[in-house]
Structure 1
Amino acid sequence: MASSVGLALCGEALVVRGGSRLLATSTSSSDGDSLFTYDCSTAQKKTQEQEQKGEDGQPGDKGSDTILASTFSKSGSYFALTDDSKRLILFRTKPWQCLSVRTVVRRCTALTFTASEEKVLVADKSGDVYSFSVPEPHGGGKLELGHLSMLLDVAVSPDDRFVLTADRDEKIRVSWATAPHSIESFCLGHTEFVSRIFVVPDHPELLLSSSGDRTLRLWEYRSGRELHCCHLSGLQEPAEPWSDQRFAASRIAYWPREQCVALLCDRLPVVFLFQLDTARRQLVHRQQLSFQHRVWDAAFEESRGLWVLQDCQEAPLVLCRPVDGHWQSDGDSAEVERLSAVLRGNWAMLEGSAGTDGGFSSLYKATCDNMTTYLKRKEERLQQQLERKRRRDPPPGHNGPAKRAKAGEEPQGCSS
């Protein structure tokens, strides 16, 4: 499940979202004055009939307008988002313009554009994936495929042949796009929900996945073969205050220029950096970037490096670059200061969403130890039985209440 605070980059277009609002600008100083904002609370509302009865025929409920997921198309020409009021909103980005507001059946958890940019696919909490046309921005949705479990992410292969879906039941499914009922493979190995999946664009046969089991895995997804698994628990410093916490890997970002993978973890002030070694088909841990504040999101810009959005009003954006093979923050960048000033001027939209954690903590499955519960209850029953027996049959010599005397007979030891 996506956090209500997010960062997205495509080319020089940068989008920051928080609560019901998004803010779009450019990382280039030449376009520094261009600023586009949109508030979902002012978007087209459902009709009264839709509010009373949902698209699936069930009683509807009014959402909070909070943005749940968003993404750019491959070329950056389009941007789409879904919100808590069950709407899919499509934008053109050059220049920025809202093209349509469409209703989805259920609240969505993730979305992606096809490589051809003909469709946008949305995955929802019930386990279904619907497709919506981009050239016909007001067209209705079409059911493509379904899971029995909540979907947490959806992706497509660079040639649009396969749709990949990740769910709460530890599965990654690879389906044929033209016939989604035909399953190419399953990628099985995670022991908790699969939070993110990412098809490597310059190595389209490879897939990255992250999970609530604190692992980052590399797959050859058409065969379902796991190539490598990185356990984050083995990379943590023991002195870190969060080293013994349960956390989920929540965001995967990739930089083709250096074949660098950045991995964020839910609510933690760190970013793990890996090198994708395609020759050996493995991931190599390179560095751990630590911050003073919780990291909300991060994304790579091809020409600069890694932009990090953090929970700090004074310095909401940090730009990290590789210097002699070591990543470090570029604290003197004029572009960072310019963009940070824009966010400080709109801090209310981020601050109001600061308490949300994306909902990952609620996705862990509750453990059930029936034997321990049974033995505890059995011990309680035995203790109760012993207590009742003591009250009913006092031990010899116990000064309990005297037996009731027979009629006309005085108890022994009583004077006449």
Structure 2
Amino acid sequence: MATAVICGEWIVTTSGNKLTAVHTRESRDAFVFDCSQVELKPKEAVASDNSRDEGGEGAGSDAVLAVAASPSGRLLALTDDRKRLLLLATQPTWHLQSCRWVTRRCTALVFSADEECVWVADKSGDVYSFSTSHTHTHTPGHLQLGHLSMLLALVVTADDRYVITADRDEKIRVSHKSAPHNIQAFCLAHTEFVSALFVPPRYPDRLLSGSGDGTVKLWDYATGQRLQSLDLRETHQEESVCIKRITSSPDGHHIAVLCDRLPRLQLFEMTSGSEATPTQCLPLPQSPLDTTFDPQGRLWVLLDDKHTPVLLFTHTSQHWECVAEQPDLKRVSEALLTHSVPLPVEAGLRLQQLYKVGFDNTATYRQRKEQRLQERRDPSAPPQANGAKKPRQQHTSPS
């Protein structure tokens, strides 16, 4: 999985088992972190975990699964396929602060607004919180809440009052952060898995959600009221659209929506808390891996291209324009070309695998029923090879 996030003034990208951080404004050495160089869990602990793990997940690889930056940019958390939760500090220089282990492979991470905890959502539907101050290796996380299906997105509101979770079963749950068993509201309208959540900084009482049904919806999350629904299948004239990422500029005015496997980026503006207006669709040379805004409001787009790993867009004269020659872009591109590793072919299949396949379990019943009716109409017909009943014998009375 490849991601791009902003951590303070650094743009952080992940590719395979590598994390690369490049300063967006100053000429500094890039920070490169390799998960394969981190300590492994003791063998006896791994065996104990596997004995309790009904899913049989196995040891896994060192690939990064999820990454999140703290609001101040002071901390960055990531999880990998070996179920490690790594906490990195950016000051005074980048360094590994702690390595802990989670119960299941993680799907989403987020810091609390006060940066005291990292909230971790996993594939089994549980959410744990890990303290950022207790960095001992064996300090466990605290189970906070759970869903009945895989969790795909997780956010904590800016006032630290609510934690919002979304799962594969189309549900968005708004829970009180101090008492997660106390559910404030549900936001229910999507018809496929909910893959992206975002609270706009300009309107902290609103929630944007994206789904495999191709829609972006705007909510008053405290009441569960849906305020707007935008169908990107109509915008992009595609039968199948899956929302992969929703993010915004620091001032919350510009919203960027990235769709899985589509070579374009949809931009919106939020001029009020009740409506998002489509403004521009940016064509791209290929389907992007991820996108993020930096503190200056510039839009970075991560690509899987060995010649052009990243694009930079700036907003001028009411339009977004691609910057071709710029020192910051050149520095970031050179660092990514030097340190990133190629992505496997299956890296982009995760969201496509979340669609539920329909199964008609009445088809066989209807077929056999039709065969029985046919046999009654024509008793001389031979029995069917699929196990249908033989035709009844005709009995004649003796003369």
TM-score (norm 2): 0.89
Which residue of 2 is the match for residue 131 of structure 1?
A: 129
CA change 1:40–1:274 in 2 (3 A) is same
Unmatched 5+ stretches in structure 1: 238-242, 393-416
Alignment of 1:152-301 (within 5 A): 152-237=152-237, 243-244=238-239, 246-257=240-251, 259-278=253-272, 281-301=274-294
| Cα offset, 1:11, TM superposition | 3.2
The answer to which of 118-127 and 317-326 deviates more is 317-326
- For the pair 1:48 / 2:39, whether they are aligned, the reply is no
Which residue of 2 is the match for residue 365 of structure 1?
A: 356
Which residue of 2 is the match for residue 329 of structure 1?
A: 322
Say whether the 8 Å CA contact 1:107–1:124 is kept in structure 2.
yes
TM-score (norm 1): 0.86
Say whether the 8 Å CA contact 2:107–2:123 is kept in structure 1.
yes
CA change 1:34–1:383 in 2 (3 A) is farther
Which residue of 1 is the match for residue 84 of structure 2?
A: 87
CA change 1:185–1:55 in 2 (3 A) is farther
| Cα offset, 1:266, TM superposition | 1.1
The answer to which of 365-374 and 208-217 deviates more is 365-374
Say whether the 8 Å CA contact 1:257–1:302 is kept in structure 2.
no
Say whether the 8 Å CA contact 2:86–2:100 is kept in structure 1.
yes
Letter in 2 for 1:369: D
Say whether the 8 Å CA contact 1:52–1:61 is kept in structure 2.
no
- For the pair 1:151 / 2:151, whether they are aligned, the reply is yes
Which residue of 1 is the match for residue 332 of structure 2?
A: 339
Q: The residue matched to 2:98 in structure 1 has which SS?
A: strand
- For the pair 1:308 / 2:301, whether they are aligned, the reply is yes
Counterpart pick for 1:23 among 20, 25, 32: 20
CA change 1:375–1:11 in 2 (3 A) is same
Rounded Cα–Cα distance in structure 2 between residues aligned with 1:110 and 1:174: 16
| Cα offset, 1:355, TM superposition | 3.7
Unmatched 5+ stretches in structure 2: 384-399
- For the pair 1:66 / 2:66, whether they are aligned, the reply is no
| Cα offset, 1:249, TM superposition | 0.3
| Cα offset, 1:76, TM superposition | 0.3
CA change 1:384–1:234 in 2 (3 A) is same
Counterpart pick for 1:375 among 362, 366, 372: 366
Q: The residue matched to 2:52 in structure 1 has which SS?
A: coil
Q: The residue matched to 2:359 in structure 1 has which SS?
A: coil
Letter in 2 for 1:10: C
Q: The residue matched to 2:328 in structure 1 has which SS?
A: helix
| Cα offset, 1:64, TM superposition | 1.1
Say whether the 8 Å CA contact 1:123–1:130 is kept in structure 2.
yes
Identity of aligned residues (%): 42
Say whether the 8 Å CA contact 2:233–2:241 is kept in structure 1.
no
1:208-238 C-alpha deviation (Å, 9 max, x unpaired): 110011001111100000110100011114x
Rounded Cα–Cα distance in structure 1 between residues aligned with 2:380 and 2:216: 59
Q: The residue matched to 1:169 in structure 2 has which SS?
A: coil
Letter in 1 for 2:241: F
Rounded Cα–Cα distance in structure 2 between residues aligned with 1:292 and 1:87: 35
| Cα offset, 1:24, TM superposition | 1.0
Rounded Cα–Cα distance in structure 1 between residues aligned with 2:278 and 2:168: 26
| Cα offset, 1:132, TM superposition | 0.3
CA change 1:329–1:188 in 2 (3 A) is same
1:130-168 C-alpha deviation (Å, 9 max, x unpaired): 000001112321101111111111111111111111111
Rounded Cα–Cα distance in structure 2 between residues aligned with 1:365 and 1:333: 44
Counterpart pick for 2:95 among 97, 107, 119: 97
Which residue of 1 is the match for residue 33 of structure 2?
A: 38
Say whether the 8 Å CA contact 1:55–1:105 is kept in structure 2.
no
* Runs of 4+ more than 2 Å apart: 55-60, 352-355, 368-392
| Cα offset, 1:91, TM superposition | 0.4
Rounded Cα–Cα distance in structure 2 between residues aligned with 1:325 and 1:355: 38
Q: CA RMSD of the aligned region, Å?
A: 2.1
The answer to which of 70-79 and 265-274 deviates more is 265-274
